[in-house]
Amino acid sequence: MELFINFRLAVGRSIVKRRLKKNYRIKKFNSLKNAHKIGIVWDGSNIDYFKSITAFFLEMQEKGIQVDIVCYYPGKILPDEYTALRYISCFKRSDLNLFFIPHISDLDEFIDTPYEILIDINFNNHFPLYFVSALSKAEFKIGAGKTINHNTFDMTIEIGNKEDISYYIDQVRHYLEMINTGV
């Protein structure tokens, strides 16, 4: 069974590579001061992280920054917390095709939106989230240093063995505020 899953993942990765060759995006350093639109790709496996994501969302809303969040939940049924919110688009395992590629129209729109900043919160290295992050047309992509797909990001933040979303978001905020784009 494991061999079949690895084969399906290998095919999925080759599909991403093929699409990346056709995918064009403008790369640009962006700071939090100059951002108007932020995209977040989030692994919703740990429901306890929901509070941190919501707090960050509300903080950005207060600053006048639009935030769109895509959440992947690897279970069969979405938790109640994820279903009633308009600012989070969630998909689950049943929304994936044979090669673990999500097939939802909301994701196509998210991928094609040229966010100034894309923040990847994928500590468990779920392939469907890698698919979204890799193909995103965001100008500046940030991910955790512990992910296996370093080449996807313009900047990685090393968090060691900490899988603490609050710490990671604080580090992202800190480094994004340090960036001087000269604008």
What six digits make up the tokens of 121?
A: 């919160």
What six digits make up the tokens of 123?
A: 């500590």
- The H-or-E segment that residue 91 falls in is strand 88-92
Q: Which pLDDT value is given to residue 29?
A: 85
Is residue 150 predicted with pLDDT exceeding 70? Answer: no
* Rounded distance between C-alpha atoms, residue 154 and residue 157, angstroms: 10
Nearest to 97 by CA among 134, 128, 130: 128
Task: Categorize the per-residue pLDDT at 23 as very low, low, confident or very high, splitting at 50, 70 and 90.
Answer: confident
> What percent of the chain is modeled with pLDDT above 90?
43
Q: Which pLDDT value is given to residue 148?
A: 65
What six digits make up the tokens of 105?
A: 């129209």
Is residue 146 predicted with pLDDT exceeding 70? Answer: no
Nearest to 147 by CA among 128, 122, 117: 122
Where do the domains of the chain lie? 2-178
Residue 21 bridge partners (DSSP): none
Options 1.10.8, 1.25.40, 2.115.10, 3.40.50; which CATH number does 2-178 get?
Answer: 3.40.50
Give 46-105 pLDDT, tens digit per residue. Answer: 888 999 999 999 999 999 999 999 999 998 888 888 877 778 889 998 889 889 989 888
- What's the whole-model pTM score? 0.90
